[in-house]
């Protein structure tokens, strides 16, 4: 069996320490903040609290995906070591990065015809994408070969559930994802949209909940309804948050009280600078294994 590496994009929103511990390689997206370009390098270039404070203070952000040339250089470094590659990209429902990775793969297979490069559209985002990568690391560590792991990833993508809520619609208005009129009224009425990622990897508003207190309870209800084995769920649970740790902790505490068989504590991560450029501060995202996602 050939040696292989597993890899993803920085938008999996795990900590650098987590990536290193699980031996998960990653390549960085890019973002601009007030016309300065940075790598989405897990808070190294700019700490998350500073990033979100700048956004709250009015700083403009813009993101850019990894291009084919960057992927080619990144993948080549592993191929030259004689290693095959399994790379999962950020969801094609919110980014074109899957196509860039595929272009790089096709180019490199001409140069390295004896190597394998598998590219998978994760149909996932943020720490849900990270939870998927963590499961893939488990399978690799158990001795699963590359071909079997590639098929396992394809077969299990849609069992990963994503639920999000936002308590500040300012940046959804700014990004054009909701109208200014709707967003302004929503902020005035303390409307917190509850969203999920559907089977096409797209963010879909499922419910509009009034007040943060109620949406914290409602997002946990969605886990009760959709988690594998319901309240007997014994898998891992991740949360990511953008400058609203106390809200995320409130969700985590509620989950830990309702799901006694969880595999460890709920892990709370930061929403990274690329995903966060679009959500702004005030977003909490919940991830777990459960029912297959639908449209």
Output the tens digit of pLDDT for each of the chain's 295 residues: 459 999 999 999 999 999 999 999 999 999 999 889 999 999 999 999 999 999 999 999 999 999 999 999 999 999 999 999 999 999 999 999 999 999 999 999 999 999 999 999 999 999 999 999 999 999 999 999 999 999 999 999 999 999 999 988 777 666 555 655 455 555 655 889 999 999 999 999 999 999 999 999 999 999 999 999 999 999 999 999 999 999 999 999 999 999 999 999 999 999 999 999 999 999 999 999 999 999 9
Cα 220 to Cα 16, 71, 223, distances in angstroms: 28, 38, 5
What pLDDT, on the 0 to 100 scale, is given for residue 188?
55
Q: Kindly tell me the sign of the dihedral angle through the C-alpha atoms of 66, 295, 290, 211.
A: positive
Q: Dihedral, CA atoms, 76, 78, 81, 82, nearest 10 degrees?
A: -90
Query: CB burial class (10 A; 0-12, 13-18, 19+) of residue 26?
Result: buried
What does the alpha-carbon distance between residue 97 and residue 82 come to, in Å, rounded to a whole number?
25
CA–CA gap between residue 258 and residue 5 (Å, rounded): 37
| Other Cβ atoms closer than 10 A to 47 | 11
pLDDT at res. 191: 85
Residue-wise over 6-18: b if at least 16 C-beta within 10 A, else e? bbbbbbbbbeeeb
pLDDT score recorded for residue 185: 56
Burial class (CB in 10 A: 0-12, 13-18, 19+), 54: middle
pLDDT at position 1, please?
Answer: 43
pTM comes to: 0.94
Angle 146-156/126-141 helices, nearest 10 degrees?
Answer: 150
DSSP E strand stretches across the chain? 4-9, 25-27, 30-33, 36-39, 61-64, 84-89, 117-121, 160-166, 191-197, 203-210, 238-241, 267-270, 283-289
Copy the structure tokens of residue 31: 């973002």
């Amino acid at each position: 069996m050939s040696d292989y590496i597993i890899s993803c994009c920085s938008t999996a929103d795990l900590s650098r320490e987590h990536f290193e511990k699980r031996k998960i390689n990653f390549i960085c997206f890019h973002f601009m903040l007030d016309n300065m370009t940075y790598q989405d390098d897990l808070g190294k270039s700019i700490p998350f609290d500073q990033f979100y404070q700048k956004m709250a203070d009015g700083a403009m952000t813009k993101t850019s995906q990894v291009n084919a040339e960057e992927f080619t250089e990144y993948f080549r470094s592993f191929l030259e070591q004689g290693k095959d590659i399994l790379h999962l990209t950020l969801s094609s429902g919110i980014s074109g990065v899957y196509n860039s990775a595929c272009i790089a793969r096709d180019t490199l297979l001409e140069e390295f015809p004896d190597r394998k490069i598998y590219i998978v559209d994760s149909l996932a985002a943020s720490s849900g994408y990270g939870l998927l990568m963590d499961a893939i690391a488990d399978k690799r560590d158990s001795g699963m070969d590359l071909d079997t792991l590639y098929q396992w990833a394809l077969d299990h993508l849609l069992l990963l559930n994503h639920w999000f809520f936002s308590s500040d619609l300012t940046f959804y208005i700014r990004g054009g994802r909701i109208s200014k009129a709707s967003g302004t009224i929503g902020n005035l009425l303390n409307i917190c949209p509850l969203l999920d990622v559907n089977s096409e990897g797209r963010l879909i508003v499922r419910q509009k909940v009034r007040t943060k207190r109620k949406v914290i309870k409602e997002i946990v209800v969605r886990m009760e309804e959709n988690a594998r084995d319901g309240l007997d769920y014994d898998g891992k649970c991740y949360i990511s948050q953008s400058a609203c740790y106390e809200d995320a902790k409130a969700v985590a505490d509620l989950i830990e009280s309702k799901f006694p068989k969880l595999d460890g504590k709920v892990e709370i991560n930061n929403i990274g600078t690329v995903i966060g450029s679009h959500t702004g501060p005030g977003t909490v995202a919940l991830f777990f294994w459960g029912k297959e996602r639908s449209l």
